[in-house]
Amino acid sequence: MSTLIDQKQTTYYNLINGEWTESSSKELLESKNPATGEVVGYAQKSTVQDVEYAIDTVFHAFNTSDWGYNPKRRYNALLGLAQKMEENKEHLARVLTIEQGKTINESRGEIAGCIDTLKYFAGASRTVFGRSIQLESQNFGVIAKEPIGVVGIISPWNWPALLMVRELAPALAAGNGVIVKPASLTPAISVEIFKLIDQVPDFTKGIVSIVTGPGRSIGAAMGTSKKIDMISFTGDTSTGKTIMEMATSNIKKLALELGGKSPNVVFADANLRKAVPLIGRSIFNTAGQICMAGSRLLVHESIKHEVIAGLKQYAENLEVGNGILETTDMGPVISQSQLDIVSDYIEMGRKEGKIVTGGYRLTGGEYDKGFFIAPTIIDELSSSSRVVQEEIFGPVLAIQSFSNDEEALAMANDSDFGLAAGVWTTNLNRAMKMSKAIKAGTVWINTYNRNFPEAEFGGYKQSGQGRTRGIDGLNEYCETKHIHFEID
């Protein structure tokens, strides 16, 4: 944190009522590169006063403009933003990598996902369909879909561009006003995207705002505000529970995508040539800091040693380093506190199981400047182990083995979470049986982490509520109204 004086790095401001403004606190938050420790830029350390002003302006814009009932305008606005991001995609990818730490290739993929999502929901803004129904001979009903009002989006630091746009796009497509509070660790990329929003004239002035700052104060103010009709939150389960409590202030609608401890279930007949590298990628991509990371491996006992050997080789061949280098396969974790959390889980795994590879912080040379952990695989863990049961959010894979299908299913569902799962088998009947019985919002068959804006995503159990993406993702941001006609 520092005051607004003599900074060479970029200073990022809040966008409120179509104007770039500094916080009333006159203080800033530092955004640092987790690979080097260098300051990337400075964002506003906003106050409750700032966020309340932003809420008021979005509330006013929504209630006094035609935004909610002008789908062509929303289409043009979202498509215009997609085009702006397309024009600036390499710049955005570099900002994302420098601020978050992920590899430049991951960042390019994330920005491409943002553009695809905006294009999809641009079209969807013109297809917010209701229906009509003849109820009786003289009674006719119209079931209308309407915007909810003002939506507050609280976005995470692990995929800060896509997971913001993933909620922003359908919320705006449905006709709502939106205020965004990005994660304090990664404000730069979010504000960079809002700079592009500011360049698209089809956005109604004040209909969308961004306010940066600490979640405990401004996030809480959003959660309790009676002018915000819905909160969309992506993040850890404990914070999601807190937001649920806050939402009782005016019984807000909630969309929550929370934690995960997702299994990859590998049967004896699986195509291991395909499975092993994709399973490795599913846990080590973004240094394991993904809610849907394949952090549990359940493997049939007959092929366990072969699979572990393949994953060990995969992990040890990964080039870990600064994500801005084209040759890097895995970057750092986001912060010292996250490194400490991951290290504590690794020590638990060392005591309770067997470290197959990794299990240490990378040090020496450039590694000393950042938060680098060797890709880690841990075997021989019991189902009750915290390493197996709890979300680590780091490059740590927990391995267990099973002897039959029933045991595999029981182990897959032995979790408080239910966000995603992978099933690896060439047996179609087994694949269908497992995909229907696993309690998770997404089950991938013979692949992993394949997401599309057309296909819904969300969690069972403590992995959240509601759905994002697809038709259901659009409808999450709509109210349903029955308009009834009695014909004389």
Residue 395 per-residue DSSP state: S
Are 240 and 215 a contacting pair, CB within 8 Å? no
Number of domains in the chain: 2
- Using one digit for the tens of pLDDT, what is the confidence trace for 170-221? 999 999 999 999 999 999 999 999 999 999 999 999 999 999 999 999 999 9
Which pLDDT belongs to residue 3? 32
Question: Is 125 inside a domain boundary?
Answer: yes
* 399 and 250 belong to one structural domain: no
* 226 and 346 belong to one structural domain: no
Question: Is 458 inside a domain boundary?
Answer: no
Task: Report the candidate in 348, 374, 370, 347 with the shortest Cα–Cα distance to residue 360.
Answer: 374
Are 323 and 331 a contacting pair, CB within 8 Å? yes
* 307 and 161 belong to one structural domain: no
Residues with catalytic annotation? 257
* 254 and 268 belong to one structural domain: no
Q: Which CATH number is 51's domain given?
A: 3.40.605.10
Q: Which residues of the chain have pLDDT under 70?
A: 1-8
Task: Report the candidate in 85, 167, 71 with the shortest Cα–Cα distance to residue 123.
Answer: 71
Are 469 and 455 a contacting pair, CB within 8 Å? yes
* 272 and 167 belong to one structural domain: no
* 126 and 140 belong to one structural domain: yes
Alpha-carbon gap, residue 282 to 232, rounded angstroms: 25
- Using one digit for the tens of pLDDT, what is the confidence trace for 448-473? 999 999 999 999 999 999 999 999 99
Which pLDDT belongs to residue 9? 80
- Residues forming a β-bridge with 420: 442
Which pLDDT belongs to residue 8? 58
* 339 and 219 belong to one structural domain: no
Question: Is 182 inside a domain boundary?
Answer: yes
Question: Is 244 inside a domain boundary?
Answer: yes
Residues 86-92: contacts with CB within 8 Å, 24+ apart? 86/115, 88/196, 89/115, 91/192, 92/161, 92/189, 92/192, 92/193
Domain that holds residue 328: 263-452
152-172 CB burial, b ≥16 within 10 A, e <16: bbbbbbbbbbbbbbbbbbbbb
Provide the CB-side half-sphere exposure for 141 (13 A, CA): 11
* 75 and 185 belong to one structural domain: yes
Question: Is 168 inside a domain boundary?
Answer: yes
* 252 and 303 belong to one structural domain: no
* 372 and 235 belong to one structural domain: no
* 318 and 382 belong to one structural domain: yes
Question: Is 457 inside a domain boundary?
Answer: no
179-209 CB burial, b ≥16 within 10 A, e <16: bbbbbbbbbbbbbbbbebbbebebbbebbbb
Q: Which CATH number is 324's domain given?
A: 3.40.309.10
Alpha-carbon gap, residue 43 to 277, rounded angstroms: 38
* 196 and 308 belong to one structural domain: no
